[in-house]
Amino acid sequence: MTLRQTLAHNLRRLRQERGLTQEALADLAGVNRNYVGLIERQENSASVDVLDQLATALEIDPIELLKRPKKAK
């Protein structure tokens, strides 16, 4: 899994776990809703600043957005 795929997967999962729409997350993070969708679809990369804004909105450490899922054994 590439880092871009990992970010997209984690962002979508964490957003959905919190019951947030892309629009709601974007509002909390101060970014455009379309940008959140582009990141989740792996069509755009997020800057470090945007990662920080998204993590703050999700109330997580930014590293959680970049953690690769553990492989099943």
Q: What CA–CA distance (Å, rounded) separates 34 from 73?
A: 37
Residue 68 placed within a domain: no
Check pLDDT > 70 for residue 72: no
Task: Encode pLDDT of 37-47 as tens digits.
Answer: 999 999 999 99
Higher pLDDT: 64 or 71? It is 64
Which CATH number is 17's domain given?
A: 1.10.260.40
What is residue 67's three-state secondary structure?
A: coil
Question: Total domain count for the chain?
Answer: 1
What is residue 21's three-state secondary structure?
A: coil
Residue 73 placed within a domain: no
Task: Encode pLDDT of 47-69 as tens digits.
Answer: 999 999 999 999 999 999 999 98
Compute the mean pLDDT over every residue in the chain, rounded to the nearest whole number: 95
* Range(s) of the domain holding residue 26: 3-60
Check pLDDT > 60 for residue 73: no
Residue 50 placed within a domain: yes
